[in-house]
């Protein structure tokens, strides 16, 4: 299949001209084994638009790569990886930077030596479900998913379906994540640095169990993901909550003597704020200077339709300090329960051993079905279709909120699937949500995202992932009417 243009990122700290940086970017992709002989590169026009450079710069870079036999030109068909291109030294690619982390000290508990909010489940019955994280049957490609599931049931994939991987994962799924999903976030990783999990929440739990002890200090965002707060409480570690601002987590507000910080830099949960590049670098610098680790939950990067998402925080990490959490829950469907952890091999080895002692691995048939759905191009088509639908719904929602004078406290720079609403002072969002159910409207009160007892009660999250665009305006009107009665 053609190489997606979304897998290309220019290193923001690299030196040299734009042309030389583009040449180096493509050459490194070939040398790392991500791009293989015969695979077609994006056209010079598409690459230029994606990178924000002139087309002639890309053309000159491609021409130099042809001269060095990294690429070959086939006229109007475009540029392809040359059959004579230098062979990679062996997958996976390794970062040249040596990790400064002392993993014998950083890992809080050892497992490698052992073998050992309630939601409305009937939300679809409501005409105006502003509920978060559910699959929309109008968008999801169930026909091709069914075909992939049938293919994974075939004799050829008998072992993938029935084999006890023990502590392993489906190699086809891991390869796709390594070669296609992670590069879209600017991340390079090998099989020993990737672990398939039962969703992002399972990934967060594994991470907390491996890194934290009763004597270690963790920090998370406030407001933040409620399930993470529960995980930290159950781990019995010491933890602090850090108030976020319009740019997400402020590094200067982190407590002293920190061991691990959990953050959602691309789409802060629930405000959807996007951490700017300068703050990401400041957070990484602080982590290096004060010797703590960062867990990046990148739960919704595929839902970027306003503009292309910035590279992940982990893509800027030169110190081996960032552990990355990804999920297919938002881009496919939450019932799939598939996510993944990406981190240094010593950490992944411990997380893999812990997972094996709990449930061994995600079901083989589910992993292989997902691998087929991804590799056959259905996933990319679904993401594009979802982006178009969400863009229309977001525009309709913004117009409806503006028409009723409702305040959006957080809406995200890249898109996403929800907005964070500040209701009029004095409004009790939980009581409002209960009353709105009588009107066929579902909203999510925001108090559960805050830590402590004395928390703001006038925030709510409105999601547009499961409500058709044609119903949004009337649903918002019903919300406004209820607020007016209060």
Identify the CATH number of the domain in which residue 390 sits.
Answer: 3.90.1150.10
Residues 368 and 405 placed together within one structural domain of the fold = no
Question: Distance of CA 245 to CAs 195, 358, 378, Å?
Answer: 32, 37, 37
- Let me know the angle formed at the C-alpha of 383 by 372 and 366, rounded to the nearest 5 degrees: 30
Q: How far apart are CA 268 and CA 325, in angstroms?
A: 14
Query: Where is pLDDT greater, at 55 or 33?
Result: 55
What band does 317 get if pLDDT is binned at 50, 70 and 90? very high
- Would you say residue 104 lies in a domain? no
Give the model's confidence band at 453: pLDDT under 50 very low, under 70 low, under 90 confident, else very high: confident
Return phi, psi of residue 36, to 5°.
Answer: -115, 155
304 pLDDT higher than 70: no
Q: From CA 270, how far away is CA 99, in angstroms rounded?
A: 32
Query: Are 213 and 305 within one domain?
Result: yes
Q: State the pLDDT confidence band at 469, using cuts at 50, 70 and 90.
A: very high
Do residue 270 and residue 297 come from a single domain?
A: yes
Q: How confident is the model at residue 412 (pLDDT cuts 50, 70, 90)?
A: low
Contacts of 77 (CB under 8 A, 6+ apart): 40
Q: How much is the pLDDT for 486? A: 53
* 175 lies in some domain: yes
CATH of the domain at 188: 3.40.640.10
Domain match, 386 and 414 both: yes
415 is a domain residue: yes
Cα 464 to Cα 85, 333, 415, 443, 458, distances in angstroms: 46, 15, 11, 10, 20
Tally of domains within the chain: 3
Query: pLDDT band at 467, cuts 50/70/90?
Result: very high
Asked if 450 and 313 sit in the same domain, the reply is no
| Euclidean distance between the first and the last CA atom of the chain, given in angstroms as a whole number | 56
Cβ-contact 110, 210 below 8 angstroms: no
Picking from 88-102, 121-135, 248-262, 416-430, which range would have the lowest pLDDT averaged per residue?
88-102
Assess whether 34 and 173 both reside in one domain.
Answer: no
249: in domain = yes
Question: Residue 115: pLDDT above 50?
Answer: no
pLDDT of residue 324: 97
pLDDT of residue 114: 41
| Pair 364, 217 in one domain | yes
Lowest mean pLDDT among 6-15, 29-38, 265-274: 6-15
Q: Is residue 87 part of a domain?
A: no
More confident residue, 486 or 11: 11
Does 92 have pLDDT greater than 60?
Answer: no
CB atoms within 10 A of CB 245: 12
High-pLDDT (> 90) share of the chain, % = 67
Q: End of a domain among 378, 398, 423?
A: 378
pLDDT at 98: 64
- Phi and psi torsions of 156, nearest 5°: -60, -30
Domain identity same for 281 and 186 = yes
Q: What's the CA gap between 402 and 117, in Å, rounded?
A: 29
Question: Can you tell me the mean pLDDT for 235-262?
Answer: 95
Q: Is residue 169 part of a domain?
A: yes
pLDDT of amino acid 281: 95
Give the pLDDT confidence score for residue 8 in this predicted structure. 92
* Overall pTM surpassing 0.85 (yes/no): no
pLDDT tens digits along 27-45: 999 988 889 999 999 999 9
Q: Residue 449: pLDDT above 90?
A: yes
Q: What's the average model confidence in pLDDT over 239-256?
A: 95
pLDDT at 51 over 80: yes
Asked whether residue 406 is assigned to any structural domain, the reply reads yes
- Average pLDDT on 80-108 reads 75
Q: Of the ranges 108-122, 165-179, 302-316, 426-440, which one carries the lowest mean pLDDT score?
A: 108-122
- Are 373 and 395 members of one domain? no
Task: Please report, for the domain that includes residue 9, its CATH number.
Answer: 1.10.10.10
Report the pLDDT value the prediction gives residue 255, as an integer from 0 to 100: 97
Q: How far apart are CA 270 and CA 266, in angstroms?
A: 11
Mean pLDDT value across residues 373-382: 92
pLDDT, residue 93, reads 47
The answer on 440 and 323 residing in a single domain is no
Distance CA 464, CA 240 (A): 31
Whether residue 332 is predicted with pLDDT greater than 90 in this model: the reply is no
Out of 378, 396, 423, pick the residue that ends a domain: 378
Task: Among 82-96, 122-136, 438-452, name the most confident range.
Answer: 438-452
| Domain extent for 19 | 5-81
C-alpha closest to that of 264 among 301, 230, 212, 317: 301
- Give the whole-number percent of the chain exceeding pLDDT 70: 93
* pLDDT > 70? residue 307: no
Q: In the predicted model, is pLDDT for residue 112 greater than 80?
A: no
The per-residue pLDDT for 97 is 58
Question: Which distant-in-sequence residues (6+ apart) come within 8 Å of 432 by Cβ?
Answer: 423, 443, 445, 460, 479, 482, 483, 486
Same structural domain, 167 and 275: yes
The confidence band for 229, taking pLDDT boundaries of 50, 70 and 90, is: very high
pLDDT > 80? residue 301: no
pLDDT tens readout for residues 143-167: 999 999 999 999 888 887 887 888 8
- pLDDT the model gives residue 118: 58
Mean model confidence pLDDT for the chain: 89
Examine the domain organization and report whether 296 and 159 are in the same domain: yes
User: Is 248 inside any structural domain?
Assistant: yes
pLDDT-derived band at 91, boundaries 50, 70, 90 = very low
């Amino acid at each position: 299949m053609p190489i997606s243009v979304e897998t290309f990122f220019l290193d923001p700290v690299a030196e040299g001209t734009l042309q030389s940086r583009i040449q180096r970017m493509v050459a490194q992709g070939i040398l790392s084994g991500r791009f293989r002989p015969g695979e077609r590169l994006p056209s010079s026009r598409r690459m230029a638009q994606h990178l924000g450079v002139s087309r002639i710069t890309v053309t000159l870079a491609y021409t130099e790569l042809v001269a060095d036999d990294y690429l070959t030109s086939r006229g109007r068909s475009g540029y392809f990886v040359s059959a004579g291109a230098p062979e990679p030294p062996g997958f996976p690619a390794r970062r040249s930077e040596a990790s400064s982390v002392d993993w014998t000290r950083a890992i809080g508990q050892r497992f490698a030596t052992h073998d050992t909010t309630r939601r409305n489940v009937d939300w679809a019955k409501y005409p105006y479900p502003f509920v978060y994280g559910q699959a929309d049957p109008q968008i999801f490609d169930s026909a091709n998913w069914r075909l992939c599931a049938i293919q994974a049931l075939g004799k050829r994939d008998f072992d993938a379906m029935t084999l006890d991987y023990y502590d392993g994962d489906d190699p086809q799924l891991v390869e796709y994540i390594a070669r296609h999903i992670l590069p879209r976030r600017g991340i390079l990783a090998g099989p020993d640095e990737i672990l398939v999990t039962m969703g992002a929440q399972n990934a967060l739990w594994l991470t907390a169990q491996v890194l934290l002890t009763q004597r270690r200090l963790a920090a998370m965002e406030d407001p933040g993901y409620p399930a993470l707060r529960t995980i930290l409480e159950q781990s019995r570690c010491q933890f602090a909550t850090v108030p976020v601002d319009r740019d997400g987590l402020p590094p200067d507000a982190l407590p002293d003597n920190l061991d691990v910080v959990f953050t959602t830099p691309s789409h802060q949960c629930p405000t959807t704020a996007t951490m700017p590049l300068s703050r990401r670098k400041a957070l990484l610098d602080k982590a290096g200077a004060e010797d703590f680790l960062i867990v990046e939950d990148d739960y919704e990067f595929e839902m970027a339709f306003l503009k292309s998402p910035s590279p992940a925080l982990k893509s800027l990490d030169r110190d081996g300090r960032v552990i990355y959490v990804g999920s297919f829950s938002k881009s496919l469907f939450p019932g799939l329960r598939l996510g993944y952890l990406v981190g240094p091999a010593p950490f992944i080895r411990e997380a893999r051993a812990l997972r094996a002692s709990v449930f061994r691995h995600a079901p083989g048939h589910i992993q292989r079905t997902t691998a087929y759905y991804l590799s056959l191009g259905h996933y990319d088509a679904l993401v594009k279709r979802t982006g178009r639908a969400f863009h229309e719904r977001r525009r309709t929602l913004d117009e409806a909120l503006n028409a009723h004078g409702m305040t959006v406290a957080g809406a995200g720079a890249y898109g996403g699937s929800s907005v964070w609403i500040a209701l009029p002072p004095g409004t009790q969002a939980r009581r409002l949500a209960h009353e709105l159910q009588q009107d066929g409207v579902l909203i999510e009160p925001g108090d559960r995202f805050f830590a402590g007892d004395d928390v703001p009660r006038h925030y709510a999250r409105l999601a547009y992932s499961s409500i058709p665009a044609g119903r949004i305006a009337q649903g918002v009107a019903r919300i406004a009417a209820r607020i007016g009665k209060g």
